[in-house]
Amino acid sequence: MFRFGQIHSGVSMEKLPVDIPTLSDEGIANLMPANMVYPGLSRLFGHLAPNYVKYIATAMDSYTWFRYVESESKSFILKNLATRALYKMLNRQDRSHICAGNENGIVHGERAVGLTSRGVNYKAINEDGFGIFDEGEVLKLVVCDGVGDCLVGEVASFVILDQFNRYPEKSLHQVLLDSCHQLVQLAKDLAVEIPEFVTFPNEISQAAVTALRIEGDQCQVAQVGDVILYTYREGNLTMLDPHGDWLNLRQMTDLFANEKYLSQRHIINNAVGRNYDSDWQAQDFALRSGDVLVLASDGLETLHPKTVLELLSSSLPSKQKLNELYQEVIRANLNWQTPGSPIYTKPDNVTLVVYQHP
């Protein structure tokens, strides 16, 4: 349920649904032989593009498809059992300035706008999340990307954003550390609530996160994992990479032509969760009037940096920049694995927060 026009710290926030291409049961049935159609396929595969469903229908025989549906259904059921129990423990509530926990939506704030979507051709679940925390003199922008190898990565995104919401007085470093402790405890509590989960060998939930703290003309960045920060200033685009280095357009272009980089770009060496490494340093930099910041999950890397630069170079307001970036991501991912699709296109959940400094 979306709520509209709510207030966070005296600042109006509007949360709206986001448009996502989705296949219905009937739509999937029309793309497959009758002996490969089962009830509820849209809940498992409604996020796929029609051309990819057609590819599956020709690549698998009916028995292989049956086993694949069975496997995906088991995973779907297991994840939902876990999330229901965990969100009950967390007493989850909807917030007008936060989208997380398998939410898909847009938030329009007075100073920043954000969007999160499960996207197409990746997963039926959105493991990303974001929050816009307008605290008057201080503005915090946070994007989380739940780790896909975990059982329920979207829960970590929710926990981190909920911690930012509950404890505005804490430093970025402390919020992430406290989120880590809460996630470790939640995993233990889940094994008590549903004892069978003690057998699960992997992380229950963890997430990459990048958080910005903006006060006056100063911006502080906390980065754990591979959530992207693009900065646009006077026609130039730079990106803060997961190693804490600022890359210019030429360096980014070289990386996007490097197949080794592309094959490993989503492998991260740190995330907020059980194995969190808190030994990192925040970065600070000065903002100038007109600077545009784009905080994004790595789903934005399906677009070449030159495309990002072109879209940010326009004189459009932040809401339109946000929409143009999102629509371009969806177009690229719908064409994934079709003739002419670039090698760097890789579908993923996509989350974007756009801020323009006054």
Give the residue carrying structure tokens 């967390």. Answer: 90
On whether residue 8 sits in a domain, the answer given is no
On whether residue 5 sits in a domain, the answer given is no
SS (H, E, C) the chain: CCCCCEEECCEEEEEEECCCCCCCHHHHHCCCCHHHCCCCHHHHHCCCCHHHHHHHHHHCCHHHHHHHHHHHHHHHHHHHHHHHHHHHHHCCCCCCCEECCCCCEEEECCCEEEEEECCCCCCCCCCEEEEEEECCCEEEEEEEEECCCCCCHHHHHHHHHHHHHHCCCCCHHHHHHHHHHHHHHHHHHHHHHCHHHHHCCCCCCCEEEEEEEEECCEEEEEEECCCEEEEEECCEEEEECCCCCEECHHHHHHHHCCHHHHHHCCCCCCCECCCCCCCCCCEEEECCCCCEEEEECHHHHHCCHHHHHHHHCCCCCHHHHHHHHHHHHHHHHHCCCCCCCCCCCCCCCEEEEEEECC
Q: Minimal CA–CA distance to 187: which of 176, 200, 169?
A: 200
What CATH number is attached to the domain comprising 66?
3.60.40.10
pLDDT of residue 23: 96
pLDDT interval class at 11 (50, 70, 90):
low
Q: What is the pTM of this model?
A: 0.94
* Domain that residue 322 falls in: 13-356
On whether residue 224 sits in a domain, the answer given is yes
Task: Give the CA diameter of the chain.
Answer: 62
pLDDT interval class at 4 (50, 70, 90):
very low
pLDDT of residue 343: 86
Given a cut of 70, whether residue 7 has pLDDT beyond it is no
Per-residue pLDDT tens over the stretch 215-265: 999 999 999 999 999 999 999 999 998 888 999 999 999 999 998 888 888
On whether residue 273 sits in a domain, the answer given is yes
Given a cut of 70, whether residue 31 has pLDDT beyond it is yes
On whether residue 4 sits in a domain, the answer given is no
On whether residue 334 sits in a domain, the answer given is yes
Given a cut of 50, whether residue 177 has pLDDT beyond it is yes
Per-residue pLDDT tens over the stretch 329-356: 999 999 888 888 888 888 999 999 999 9
The tokens describing 292, both together, are: 């545009």
Which residues are registered as beta bridge partners of 351?
116
On whether residue 1 sits in a domain, the answer given is no
Q: Please measure the distance between the N-terminal and C-terminal CA atoms of the chain and give it in whole angstroms.
A: 33
Could you give the number of structural domains in the chain?
Answer: 1
CA 285, 289, 242, 295 dihedral sign is positive
On whether residue 7 sits in a domain, the answer given is no
Given a cut of 80, whether residue 8 has pLDDT beyond it is no
Once rounded to an integer, what is the mean pLDDT over residues 15-38? 95
pLDDT interval class at 2 (50, 70, 90):
very low
Per-residue pLDDT tens over the stretch 35-65: 999 999 999 999 999 999 999 889 999 999 9
pLDDT of residue 9: 47
Given a cut of 60, whether residue 290 has pLDDT beyond it is yes
